[in-house]
Structure 1
Amino acid sequence: MDIVNGPVPGGRAPVDELTAVQEFLAEERPAAASTVTEARRRLEREAAAKRGFGSRLRPDAVRPGRRRIVMAVLGAATAVSVAAGGYHAWVTRPLYHPEPLAAQSGPASDFLLAAADAKARHITDGRIWYVRKVRGLAMTISSIKKPGTAYQIVVTRNDYSVVSKDGKVDDGWNDEGQNDLDDGLDPHRVKSDDVRPAGPRDRAAWERDGRPDQQDLVFAEKIKGDELVIPRRGPEGREGGELDFGPEEARALPADPEELRAELLNYATRFDHRRLRNPDLYLFVHAPQLLIDDPVSDRVRIATYRILAALKGVRVVTATDPAGRTGRAVAMRETTREHGVIEWQLFIDPATGRLTASQGIVISPGTANAALRPGTAEFTEVVEQAEWTNKPADQLRPKWWNDPLRRASNQD
């Protein structure tokens, strides 16, 4: 039996859900005897009328046995209706409400508040929210050509999205024709090479292995599964649901930090309806998607930075991002049995308040990533563009998107 989370009125021990519902529905005091008598008479009159007797049959002429049956059925129906409505209200009630953000002090809070101020100085708007980024996932594989030899690789993929405010455009795709987009781009960008060695010590082994790409590894059964590995933001199955807002939901999010925090936490608990054990960690890991992925207003992004600045346990670190750039980042650590200790890092441009990259560094591996070396960036994301624009959607999509044959091939 699940246990009701959170404080219990009166300081009592936690109770199971059915008991909580019963207490929630319990009457504060019984009705007066005269009220009960009058209600019974009205019910009997209505029941007799519906059976076709009308006014010719007095309520007190109804046989006692039938009267008891009528009252039992009506009482049961009423109880079921009230209980169902009460239970639905109980399990869908908000678990979190707007409240003042915690006041934190220190380098991390200062860094994030400065990012909020920088974003406030660079508020933009447009018809379309455009994102281009590269995600990566590190893994250890055994050599194709030299059994007994293993090395670490990073599987990468370009991700794009074009979402318009009016809802007429909502495209998201990954790039199977990445070479079409290389011309004219920043030479320091992370190219989606499909597979690359995780570090210098892995490059030699990867080259001796014939520089295998993802198709080669799947064919050689070095990567399990029939489908290609898709890099993701982080491990699955963490506490709380994903913030998988649709475009309309994202645009409706409040720009007030206190209201936004409650909205995010209630959205995270909408399925199991359990308070999070560590809401600060959840927000640090999940809320940054509002900075990049969702078509929210820049004022919502400013509110997101202010939420992050109020979290406990956030530190400032100097680190190298997945694109090879060294700088300051804010970090928080998460410990699970499956992935051990992961340090989540967010890299932010202090001049513009834009999130430029994020990564999850393995501090000590767990059961699911035991083959990865400590210090490996298991989950990576480099943000190459994330901006409001008024450019036509066709100019933002990859070239192959406008080629019907190649588009069909890539979607297959």
Structure 2
Amino acid sequence: MDEIDALRQMRTTLAQEESPDRLALRTNWRSAPARTPRSRTPRRLTLPLMGVVAAGAVAAGSMAVLSGHSDPRPPGRSVPLRTGGDGNVLLAAATSAEKATPNGAYWHTRRIDGTIYDVGTARADHYKVDSRQQYDSWVGRDGRESRNYADLPARPWTAQDKAKWQRAGSPMKVDVPSGDPGVVGTLFLDAKSPVGAPRPRPMKGGEVARFYGMTPAQIAKLPTEPKALEKTLLALRDRWHAYSSTAGKEPLGSLRGEERVRALSDVAGVLLADAPAPPKVRAAAFRMLAALPGVRAGGTATDPLGRTGTVISLPLETTVPLGIYTAPKQLGTYRRQWIIDPGTGTLLTMRDVVATPPHGSRRLPPGDDGKPRALRVQDMPDRFHRPGEVSSYEVYAVAEWTNS
């Protein structure tokens, strides 16, 4: 049994009077589907922090680097969720996506993952820092892939956060909660830290890239009619639950209601950004999403790269934004949103915004020393976040065919 399977079988409870079963029904923390790790390095899957190291690791020479630079425009501005919306913006995006011409030898994606950490000990004087990692992938026409990973210089999340950081003396070293009881993460800020050029690492042997188990050749043959595409995707087998009494794979079609919609949207996101899907398949993915119950389009937002798009809100408040590793330990709930550009038919960003801020506490299984543990609000990286504020995101800086 691997670490993830063991985590899925953890049984955690609240240290409050509310029973775990009632909590599970109210917050869906046992059953919310997480994004399946793909062929590249998964984001924050086996560690509580990426770009943040525990104090013990610092002594060993590990270091995370942050930049004091911040875009003056607040990235990822929150947008109130709307209860209406007819999906027309998704249909417009589908029409735009269908017009694309897939010229090039490689499908290149550059994805930047970010987690927003609260720095400080009180709500009144805390500031937020954006810790980022960059993943590049080049998938050839034969399905073989080369990858690159880099830690990017992180930065205060907004101009206001930068001002607070400066008023605090512009410290080059700050402590943040790691998401584990009693474990403190350390962030190092260095505005001059360089980011090296990508150094692609080809996959070994004849292995090809896979996206939710599908090879590029299989993706190229997916149906281009939305209902037929949905039917095909419902047959995909994976571990769709972040927390489940069984660790085995199951067909997506076994999910019901909002869980099914959330899982279908996750797969659609892969087809729209990560995978070398043909234009008509991308268009079908947009049209499929537009027809799913609970998907709402409304408002605009600016993503962390300063690009403005339309907000698409997905159903199901869940507790999985920081990855499968921390899914059973969250004390708040989060809602998944997309930011799309309907004019070009592109998915710009996926983000998780706080629906219910972290609160209360929960018992955890004993640690290696056998002593009881409990997760508390002060252990949470986003403990001072308010409803509607961004907790984490994935932004697609590049998603295009290229000959380079």
Aligned residue in 2 for 1:37: none
Task: Provide the aligned C-alpha RMSD in A.
Answer: 3.5
Alpha-carbon deviations, 1:34-91, whole Å to 9, x = none? xxxxxxxxxxxxxxxxxxxxxxxxxxxxxxxxxxxxxxxxxxxxxxxxxxxxxxxxxx
**Partner SS for 1:295:** coil
Aligned residue in 1 for 2:348: 356
Aligned residue in 2 for 1:63: none
Q: Of the candidates 91, 114, 130, which is equivalent to residue 154 of structure 1?
A: 130
Query: Is the contact made by 2:92 and 2:343 (CA closer than 8 Å) also made in structure 1?
Result: no
Query: Is the contact made by 2:332 and 2:357 (CA closer than 8 Å) also made in structure 1?
Result: yes
State the one-letter code of the partner of 2:285: T
Aligned residue in 2 for 1:210: 170
Query: Is the contact made by 2:348 and 2:397 (CA closer than 8 Å) also made in structure 1?
Result: yes
State the one-letter code of the partner of 1:165: R
Query: Is the contact made by 2:94 and 2:283 (CA closer than 8 Å) also made in structure 1?
Result: yes
User: How do 1:21-36 residues align onto structure 2 when only pairs under 5 Å count?
Assistant: none
| Compared CA separation, residues 323 and 273, structure 1 to 2 (3 A) | same
- Say if 2:235 is the partner of 1:253: no
**Partner SS for 1:336:** coil
Q: Normalising by structure 2, what TM-score? A: 0.53
State the one-letter code of the partner of 2:303: D
Q: What's the offset of the Cα at 1:381?
A: 2.4
CA distance in 1 between counterparts of 2:127 and 2:175 reads: 17
Aligned residue in 2 for 1:372: 385
Q: What's the offset of the Cα at 1:223?
A: 1.7
- Relative to its length, the structure with more helix (as a share) is 1
CA distance in 2 between counterparts of 1:382 and 1:349 reads: 13
- Say if 2:343 is the partner of 1:383: no
- Say if 2:153 is the partner of 1:171: no
Q: Of the candidates 156, 159, 169, which is equivalent to residue 197 of structure 1?
A: 156
Q: What's the offset of the Cα at 1:254?
A: 3.4
Query: Is the contact made by 1:141 and 1:222 (CA closer than 8 Å) also made in structure 2?
Result: no
| Compared CA separation, residues 339 and 288, structure 1 to 2 (3 A) | farther
4+ long deviations beyond 6 Å: 213-218
Aligned residue in 1 for 2:43: none
Query: Is the contact made by 2:176 and 2:186 (CA closer than 8 Å) also made in structure 1?
Result: no
Q: Normalising by structure 1, what TM-score? A: 0.52
Aligned residue in 1 for 2:335: 343
CA distance in 2 between counterparts of 1:256 and 1:339 reads: 40
**Partner SS for 2:87:** helix
Query: Is the contact made by 1:155 and 1:214 (CA closer than 8 Å) also made in structure 2?
Result: no
Aligned residue in 2 for 1:119: 97
Aligned residue in 2 for 1:15: none
CA distance in 2 between counterparts of 1:116 and 1:291 reads: 10
- Say if 2:302 is the partner of 1:329: no
State the one-letter code of the partner of 1:363: A
User: How do 1:307-326 residues align onto structure 2 when only pairs under 5 Å count?
Assistant: 307-318=288-299, 319-326=301-308
**Partner SS for 2:352:** strand
- Say if 2:284 is the partner of 1:296: no
User: How do 1:101-116 residues align onto structure 2 when only pairs under 5 Å count?
Assistant: 107-116=85-94
Q: What's the offset of the Cα at 1:120?
A: 1.4
Aligned residue in 2 for 1:235: none
Query: Is the contact made by 2:354 and 2:389 (CA closer than 8 Å) also made in structure 1?
Result: yes
User: How do 1:35-184 residues align onto structure 2 when only pairs under 5 Å count?
Assistant: 107-142=85-120, 150-167=126-143, 169-176=144-151
User: Which structure is richer in relative contact order (CA contacts within 8 A, separation 6 or more)?
Assistant: 2
CA distance in 1 between counterparts of 2:283 and 2:307 reads: 24
Aligned residue in 2 for 1:38: none
Q: What's the offset of the Cα at 1:123?
A: 3.4
CA distance in 2 between counterparts of 1:243 and 1:295 reads: 13
- Relative to its length, the structure with more strand (as a share) is 2
CA distance in 2 between counterparts of 1:339 and 1:116 reads: 37
Q: What's the offset of the Cα at 1:276?
A: 0.9
| Compared CA separation, residues 224 and 258, structure 1 to 2 (3 A) | farther
Query: Is the contact made by 2:119 and 2:175 (CA closer than 8 Å) also made in structure 1?
Result: no
Q: What's the offset of the Cα at 1:349?
A: 1.8
**Partner SS for 1:260:** helix
Aligned residue in 1 for 2:250: 273
**Partner SS for 1:283:** helix
State the one-letter code of the partner of 1:172: R
**Partner SS for 1:262:** helix
| Compared CA separation, residues 197 and 112, structure 1 to 2 (3 A) | same
State the one-letter code of the partner of 2:150: D
Query: Is the contact made by 2:120 and 2:176 (CA closer than 8 Å) also made in structure 1?
Result: no
State the one-letter code of the partner of 1:276: L
Structure 1: tracts of 5 or more residues without a match: 1-105, 177-191, 226-241, 393-412
CA distance in 2 between counterparts of 1:196 and 1:332 reads: 28
CA distance in 2 between counterparts of 1:365 and 1:216 reads: 17
Structure 2: tracts of 5 or more residues without a match: 1-83, 188-210, 240-247, 320-329, 360-379
Q: What's the offset of the Cα at 1:362?
A: 1.1
CA distance in 1 between counterparts of 2:303 and 2:388 reads: 12
State the one-letter code of the partner of 2:395: V
Alpha-carbon deviations, 1:92-137, whole Å to 9, x = none? xxxxxxxxxxxxxx74421111111111122323321011232211
Query: Is the contact made by 2:350 and 2:393 (CA closer than 8 Å) also made in structure 1?
Result: yes
Aligned residue in 1 for 2:232: 263
Query: Is the contact made by 1:321 and 1:359 (CA closer than 8 Å) also made in structure 2?
Result: no
